[in-house]
């Protein structure tokens, strides 16, 4: 279904390009967005200072790449055959620069002090094959198709940039990014933060800003994905100490790094571990090493799972990457609408009407909104119906067989009865649902069923 919307938007951009032939500025704008429509999904990692943007980029890539020193400018991360960077100045040709690794923090590139539009880092990475990451301080950059907005607290002050920038809930995920510091960094800090996120995401003021609210420790996720043998050995050494003594020195950073604690473990190694994991992360790692994590690989895997990165990757896959066509089509329509409002042209009125019709009638966008509402609990359906609704609107995949819960090799004649049965069931729900939200949800699911029947017919 999203492929159909993407195709229709591409055709509309092509017609606009014909209409604006000879208008250099409009032609460049349309050419840029036509190319962008076919590119990988652009996901921006945004947030205030010390929110963990670079650390999350590293966790998603699985390497120590960020931060890339670019004098505060936006930095893109693309898949590439080998590590490298390219600087894009204002009003001048781009040029390649070497990546110079900083001993402690990411990389640096040789860029002028001013006049830089952006820096593009190429890094061989499976996670970047279908997604391009953008690290920026701008809350909702126009260059992005989707946004991961990082906050330290779910308060109005930190969410204000999203509201001011007009964040669209369809393409935004709000991340409580320093979850390991919740409740004073106790061992259960991550669980506490996840409970807070689950509770707060049902609030209308927060739900209006994004698809979902998730808690993650970017620091612990990054450390888990890049954990070194020496770091595991330090964790294991602390875990092997007398438990009352170790617990007493895990109460503060000064006690943990002080000379009075564990002289057999050099203070430098303890300080390095603290820098990587934070005190809450060290406590968690020691607890895991005492119980189930008997190797570097096992500890790294469990830190990643506990950090919330696995849930974030699933959300990115389900809500963003799997809906690439819808998200990119929406961005292209918004951009075309901006052009038509800015440029006087005889064809502008007709094209603008088509843009409005596509935006208003895009069932794929309604599916995405409902998927988020079901996921966050803003719309409640009975258990079995909620599972079926999520599947029918594409939560488990966009192919007809995936939506209908059938074997991928099921022939079209085997899909029709299942789609017809689902349509009848959800037609009944449009009147039988007990709430207005439930009835509206049933209407969206019914439209998805009829779209399958139309395609099969």
Question: Considering only CA atoms, which of 222, 224, 202 is closest in space to residue 213?
Answer: 202
Burial of 416 (0-12, 13-18, 19+ CB in 10 A): middle
Tens of pLDDT, residue by residue over 197-251, are: 999 988 888 888 888 899 999 999 999 999 999 999 999 999 999 999 899 999 9
Neighbours of 244 (CB within 10 A): 7
Distance CA 72, CA 82 (A): 24
3-state secondary structure 16-79: HHHHCCCCHHHHHHHHHHHHHHCCCEEEEEEECCCCCHHHHHHHHHCCCCCCEECCCCCEEEEC
Average pLDDT, the chain: 90
Helix and strand element counts for the chain (H, E): 20, 12
Q: In the 8-state DSSP scheme, what is residue 393? A: T
Tens of pLDDT, residue by residue over 153-185, are: 998 889 988 888 877 777 899 999 999 998 777
Asked if 238 contacts 290 with a C-beta cutoff of 8 angstroms, the reply is: no
Distance CA 327, CA 171 (A): 7
Distance CA 205, CA 98 (A): 45
Give the H or E element holding residue 203. Answer: none
Phi, psi of 84 (to 5 degrees): -175, 175
Distance CA 105, CA 54 (A): 10
Task: Kindly list the strands in the beta sheet with 84-89, ordered across the sheet, starting from the edge strand earlier in the chain.
Answer: 95-97, 84-89, 116-122, 75-78, 131-135, 41-47, 146-151, 172-176, 212-215
Tens of pLDDT, residue by residue over 77-88, are: 999 999 999 999
3-state secondary structure 305-337: HHHCHHHHHHHHHHHHHHHHHHHHHHHHHHHHH
At residue 107, the pLDDT reads 77
Kindly list the distances between the CA atom of residue 144 and the CA atoms of 23, 189, 433, in Å, as whole numbers in the listed order.
Answer: 26, 32, 37
Tens of pLDDT, residue by residue over 179-195, are: 999 877 777 889 999 99
At residue 268, the pLDDT reads 93
Distance CA 156, CA 413 (A): 53
269 confidence band (pLDDT: 50, 70, 90):
very high
At residue 70, the pLDDT reads 63
Q: What are residue 95's DSSP bridge partners? A: 87
Asked if 403 contacts 452 with a C-beta cutoff of 8 angstroms, the reply is: yes
Tens of pLDDT, residue by residue over 20-55, are: 999 999 999 999 999 999 999 999 999 988 899 999
Distance CA 65, CA 102 (A): 10
Phi, psi of 301 (to 5 degrees): -60, -45
1 confidence band (pLDDT: 50, 70, 90):
low
Q: Is the pLDDT of residue 71 over 80?
A: no
At residue 226, the pLDDT reads 94
Tens of pLDDT, residue by residue over 103-128, are: 666 777 777 767 788 899 999 999 89
Give the helix, strand, coil percentages of the chain, each rounded to 5.
60, 10, 30
Tens of pLDDT, residue by residue over 378-436, are: 888 888 899 999 999 988 888 899 999 999 899 988 999 999 999 999 999 999 888 88
Note every long-range contact of 15-20, with CB atoms under 8 Å and residues 24 or more positions apart, other chains counting: 15/351, 16/336, 16/339, 16/340, 16/347, 16/351, 19/345, 19/347, 19/351, 20/343, 20/345, 20/347
**Furthest C-alpha separation in the chain:** 81
Distance CA 225, CA 300 (A): 6
Distance CA 4, CA 374 (A): 24
Ordered structural domains, the chain, with CATH? 1-63+129-217+308-362 (3.40.50), 68-124 (no CATH), 229-291 (no CATH), 379-457 (1.10.287)
């Amino acid at each position: 279904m999203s492929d159909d919307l993407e195709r229709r938007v591409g055709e509309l951009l092509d017609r606009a390009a014909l209409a604006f032939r000879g208008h250099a500025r409009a032609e460049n704008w349309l050419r840029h967005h036509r190319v962008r429509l076919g590119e990988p999904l652009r996901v921006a990692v945004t947030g205030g200072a010390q929110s963990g943007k670079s650390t999350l980029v590293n966790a998603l890539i699985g390497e120590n790449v960020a931060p890339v020193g670019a004098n505060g400018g936006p930095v893109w991360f693309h898949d590439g055959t080998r590590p490298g960077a390219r600087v894009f100045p204002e009003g001048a040709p781009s040029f390649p620069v070497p990546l110079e690794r900083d001993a402690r923090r990411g990389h640096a590139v040789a860029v002028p002090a001013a006049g830089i539009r952006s820096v593009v880092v190429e890094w061989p990475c499976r996670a970047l094959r279908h997604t391009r990451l953008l690290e920026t301080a701008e809350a909702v950059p126009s260059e992005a198709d989707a946004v991961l907005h990082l906050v330290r607290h779910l308060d109005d002050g930190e969410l204000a940039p999203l509201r001011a920038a007009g964040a669209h809930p369809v393409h935004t995920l709000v991340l409580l990014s320093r979850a390991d510091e919740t409740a004073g960094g106790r061992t259960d800090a991550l669980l506490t933060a996840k409970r807070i996120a689950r509770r707060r995401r049902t609030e209308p003021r927060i739900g209006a800003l994004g698809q979902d609210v998730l808690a993650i420790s970017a620091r612990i996720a990054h450390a888990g994905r890049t954990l070194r043998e020496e770091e595991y050995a330090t964790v294991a050494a602390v875990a092997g100490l007398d438990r009352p003594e170790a617990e007493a020195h895990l109460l503060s950073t000064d006690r943990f790094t002080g000379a009075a604690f564990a002289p057999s473990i050099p203070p430098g190694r303890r300080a390095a571990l603290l820098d990587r994991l934070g005190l809450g992360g060290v406590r968690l790692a020691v607890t895991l090493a005492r119980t189930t994590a008997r190797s570097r690989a096992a500890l790294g895997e469990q830190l990643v799972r506990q950090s919330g990165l696995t849930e974030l990757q699933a959300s990115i896959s389900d809500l963003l990457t799997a809906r690439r066509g819808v998200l990119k089509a929406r961005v292209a329509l918004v951009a075309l609408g901006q052009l038509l409002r800015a440029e006087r042209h005889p064809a502008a009125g007709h094209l603008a009407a088509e843009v409005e019709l596509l935006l208003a009638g895009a069932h794929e966008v309604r599916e995405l909104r409902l998927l988020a509402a079901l996921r966050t609990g803003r719309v409640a359906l009975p258990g079995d119906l909620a599972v079926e609704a999520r599947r029918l609107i594409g939560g488990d995949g966009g192919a007809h067989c995936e939506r209908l819960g059938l074997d991928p090799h099921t022939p079209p004649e085997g899909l029709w009865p299942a789609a017809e049965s689902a349509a009848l069931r959800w037609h009944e729900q449009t009147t039988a649902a007990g709430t207005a939200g439930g009835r509206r949800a049933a209407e969206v699911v019914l439209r998805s069923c009829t779209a399958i029947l139309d395609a099969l017919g």
